[in-house]
C-alpha cells in the first residue's frame, strides 16, 4: 500500500518510474528524431568525402557538392600532397600537436600532483592562481605583448607555450590524484621511494584513464587552434593546417598551382574537390586517435563525480 502511495502525485496521478516501458508510438517518435539527428550529421560528412573523390565533370555538373560520387578520383588528394602549402601545414600541425600535448601533459600532471599532496610549499596560493585562471583570462592585447616581449613571434613555440597549462585540466587531474589512497604512496615512501619515483612509478600508471582524456583535450585543442597562429605567425611556411583550412576553405581563397607544389592550372582538380580534401585531412587524425582512447574516456570523465 505504501508503494502505491509513493507512486502517486499530490493530484492523484501516477508518477513515471524507471521501470515504465514506453509505448510503441513513443518509441517510434524517438527513433525518427534520432534518425533525423544522425542524418543531419552524416549526410554533410558523406557529401564532403564524396566531393573530394568525385570526378571533375561530376563536381561541375553537381554545382560543387556531390552527395554520391560516380567513381573514385584521388586527384585532389594527390595535388594537396604534392609538396605544397597543405602538406607543409600538415607537418606543422603534427609537430605542434605532438609536442604541445607532451609539454602540456607533463606540466599539468606535475602541477596537479603537487597541488593534490598536503603540505606542499605554496599549495593554497598556487591553487588559487589556477582557479583564477579558470574564471578569468587575459585580454588579446596583453597576450600579444607577452608573446612579443619573449621573442616568440613567428615561432612555433608561440602556438604552444601560451596555452601549455589549462586550469580546468589541472583541476581534473588534481581531483583524480586526491582519490588515490595515501596508504599506497605512504607504503612506497616507507620502502625508500622519493616523490619523483612515487609520481612516475605509482601515480602515473594508476592514472591512465584521466591522462588519456586530458591528453585528448589538449591534442584536440592544439590540432584545431588557428586564432593564435593568425595573430603570432606571419610566415606562411609556418602556418598550421587549421589556418590553411580557414584561409582556403572558409574564406574561399583559390589555391593556385604554386600553392600545390607547382602544378599547372589546367592539371588542377576543381577547387571544391581540393577544399573538401583539405577538410577531410583535417578530420582524419582525430578520428583515428579517438577510438583508441574511447575506453578510457567515460572513466576519465567521471573523475570526481562519484564519492564513496
Burial 141-152 (b: 16+ CB within 10 A, else e): eebbeebeeeeb
132-151 mean pLDDT = 88
Q: What is the pLDDT of residue 37?
A: 92
Q: What is the pLDDT of residue 36?
A: 93
Q: What is the pLDDT of residue 306?
A: 45
Q: Is the pLDDT of residue 164 over 80?
A: yes
Q: Is the pLDDT of residue 1 over 50?
A: no
CATH number for domain 79-301, candidates 1.10.3720.10, 3.40.1050.10, 3.40.50.620, 3.50.30.30:
1.10.3720.10
160-181 mean pLDDT = 89
**Averaged pLDDT of the chain:** 82
Q: What is the pLDDT of residue 206?
A: 86
260-276 mean pLDDT = 74
101-112 per-position pLDDT tens digit: 999 999 999 999
Q: What is the pLDDT of residue 109?
A: 94
Q: What is the pLDDT of residue 53?
A: 86
Whole-angstrom distance, CA of residue 281 vs CA of residue 216: 18
Whole-angstrom distance, CA of residue 230 vs CA of residue 243: 7
249 pLDDT band, cuts 50/70/90, is: confident
Q: What is the pLDDT of residue 3?
A: 45
Q: What is the pLDDT of residue 101?
A: 94
Q: What is the pLDDT of residue 2?
A: 43
Residue 8's DSSP bridge partners are 14
2-57 per-position pLDDT tens digit: 444 454 555 555 555 555 677 888 888 999 999 999 989 888 888 888 888 888 88
273-279 mean pLDDT = 86
Pairwise pLDDT comparison (203 vs 303), residue with the higher score: 203
Q: Where are the domains of the chain?
A: 2-73, 79-301
Highest mean pLDDT among 54-68, 131-145, 257-271: 131-145
218-245 mean pLDDT = 90
* Cell numbers representing residue 227 in the block: 586564432
Q: For 227-246, what is the HEC assignment?
A: HHHHHHCCCHHHCCHHHHHH
Are the C-beta atoms of 103 and 163 separated by less than 8 Å?
no
* Cell numbers representing residue 70 in the block: 560516380
Judged by average pLDDT, the poorest of 2-11, 214-223, 257-266 is 2-11
Pairwise pLDDT comparison (261 vs 166), residue with the higher score: 166
Q: What is the pLDDT of residue 218?
A: 93
Q: For the chain, what is the HEC assignment?
A: CHHHHHCECCCCCECCCCCCCCCHHHHHHHHHHHHHHHHHHHHHHHHHHHHHHCCHHHHHHCCCCCCCCCCCCCHHHHHHCCCCHHHHHHHHHHHHHHHHHHHHHHHHHHHHHHHHCCCCCCHHHHHHHHHHHHHCCCCHHHHHHHHHHCCCCCCHHHHCHHHCCCHHHHHHHHHHHHCCCHHHHHHHHHCCCCHHHHHHHHHHHHCHHHHHHHHHHHHHHHHHCCHHHHHHCCCHHHCCHHHHHHHHHHCCCCCCCHHHCCCCHHHCCCHHHHHHHHHHHHHHHHHHHHHHHHHHHHHHHCCCCCCC
Q: What is the pLDDT of residue 308?
A: 45
Q: What is the pLDDT of residue 10?
A: 55
Whole-angstrom distance, CA of residue 72 vs CA of residue 77: 11
Residue 14's DSSP bridge partners are 8
Taking the whole predicted model, whether its pTM rises above 0.85 is answered as: no
Q: What is the pLDDT of residue 102?
A: 95
Amino acid at each position: 500500500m505504501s508503494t502505491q502511495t509513493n507512486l502517486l502525485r499530490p493530484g492523484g496521478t501516477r508518477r513515471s518510474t524507471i521501470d515504465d516501458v514506453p509505448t510503441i508510438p513513443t518509441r517510434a517518435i524517438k527513433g525518427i528524431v534520432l534518425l533525423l539527428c544522425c542524418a543531419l550529421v552524416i549526410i554533410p560528412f558523406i557529401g564532403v568525402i564524396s566531393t573530394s573523390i568525385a570526378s571533375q565533370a561530376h563536381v561541375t555538373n553537381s554545382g560543387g557538392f556531390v552527395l554520391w560520387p560516380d567513381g573514385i578520383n584521388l586527384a585532389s588528394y594527390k595535388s594537396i600532397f604534392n609538396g605544397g602549402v597543405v602538406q607543409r601545414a600538415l607537418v606543422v600541425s603534427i609537430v605542434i600537436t605532438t609536442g604541445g600535448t607532451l609539454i602540456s601533459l607533463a606540466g599539468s600532471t606535475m602541477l596537479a600532483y603537487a597541488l593534490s599532496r598536503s603540505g606542499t610549499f605554496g599549495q593554497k596560493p598556487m591553487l588559487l592562481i589556477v582557479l583564477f585562471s579558470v574564471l578569468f583570462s587575459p585580454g588579446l592585447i596583453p597576450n600579444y605583448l607577452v608573446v612579443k616581449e619573449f621573442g616568440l613571434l613567428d615561432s612555433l613555440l608561440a602556438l604552444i607555450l601560451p596555452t601549455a597549462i589549462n586550469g580546468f585540466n589541472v583541476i581534473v587531474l588534481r581531483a583524480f590524484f586526491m582519490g588515490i589512497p595515501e596508504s599506497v604512496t605512504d607504503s612506497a615512501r616507507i620502502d625508500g621511494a622519493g616523490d619523483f619515483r612515487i609520481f612516475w612509478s605509482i601515480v602515473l600508471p594508476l592514472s591512465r584513464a584521466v591522462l588519456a582524456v586530458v591528453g585528448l583535450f589538449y591534442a584536440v585543442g592544439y590540432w584545431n587552434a588557428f586564432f593564435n597562429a593568425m595573430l603570432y605567425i606571419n610566415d606562411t611556411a609556418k602556418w598550421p593546417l587549421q589556418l590553411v583550412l580557414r584561409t582556403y576553405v572558409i574564406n574561399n581563397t583559390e589555391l593556385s598551382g604554386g600553392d600545390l607544389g607547382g602544378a599547372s592550372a589546367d592539371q588542377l582538380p576543381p577547387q571544391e574537390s581540393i577544399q573538401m580534401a583539405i577538410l577531410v585531412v583535417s578530420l582524419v587524425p582525430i578520428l583515428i586517435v579517438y577510438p583508441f582512447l574511447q575506453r578510457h574516456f567515460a572513466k576519465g570523465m567521471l573523475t570526481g563525480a562519484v564519492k564513496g
